[in-house]
Amino acid sequence: MANRALKGFLNLRWALVSQVLLGILVGDASAQQAPSAPARQPDLLIAPRWTKGESRVYEQLKVRRQIPRGEAATQASSRARIDINVLEAGKNGYLLSWVLSESTLEGSRPPAQEAELAGILKAMEGWNILLDLDHAGNLRGVRNWKELKTRAESLSNSILQGQKYQGLTPEVQTRLRSQLKARLESKGQIEELCTSEARIFLAPIGLNFKASQPVQYEATLPNPRGGKPFPVHAQFELTTIDPASARAIVDWKQFVDSAGGDKSQSLGDSIKQLGKNFGRPPGLEQPQQAKPPTIRYECRYLIDLRTGWVNDLKHLQVIRAQDGSATEESLRIRRIDPNARQSPGTRSKKETPKDR
Cα 146 to chain center, whole Å?
21
Instruction: Report how far residue 65's alpha carbon sits from residue 77's, in angstroms, rounded to the nearest whole number.
Output: 9
pLDDT one-digit tens code per residue, 112-121: 666 767 777 7
Q: Which of 20-29, 81-90, 248-257 has the highest mean pLDDT?
A: 81-90
Burial 35-58 (b: 16+ CB within 10 A, else e): eeeeeebeebebbbebeeebebbb
Nearest Cα to Cα of residue 113 among 331, 285, 281: 281
Range in 52-66, 162-176, 185-199, 257-271 the model is least confident about:
257-271
Strand segments (E) across 243-279: 247-256
How many helices (H) and strands (E) in the chain? Answer: 9, 13
pLDDT recorded at residue 331: 96
pLDDT in the model for residue 111: 65
Q: What separation in angstroms does the CA of 108 have from each of 165, 262, 270?
A: 22, 38, 27
| Nearest alpha carbon to residue 326 among 77, 108, 64 | 64
| CA pair distance 293, 13, nearest whole angstrom | 17
Average pLDDT along the chain: 75
Q: Of the ranges 33-37, 51-55, 275-279, 324-328, which is most confident? A: 51-55
- Residue 229: the pLDDT is 75
Residue range 236-246, pLDDT digits in tens: 999 999 999 99
Confidence of residue 293 (pLDDT cuts 50, 70, 90): confident
Whole-number pLDDT of residue 113: 67
Task: Please name the helix (run of DSSP H) or strand (run of DSSP E) that holds residue 107, with its range, or none.
Answer: none
Residue 300 has pLDDT above 60, yes or no: yes
> Is residue 325 scored above 50 in pLDDT?
yes
Averaged pLDDT, 101-106 = 86
- Distance, in Å, from the CA atom of 159 to the CA atom of 251, rounded to the nearest integer, reads 37
The DSSP bridge partners found for residue 330 are: 63, 316
pLDDT above 50: residue 154: yes
Q: What are the residue ranges spanned by the domains of the chain? A: 2-340
CA atoms within 13 A on the CB side of 35: 14
Give, as one character, the DSSP assignment of residue 228.
Answer: S
pLDDT for position 15: 36
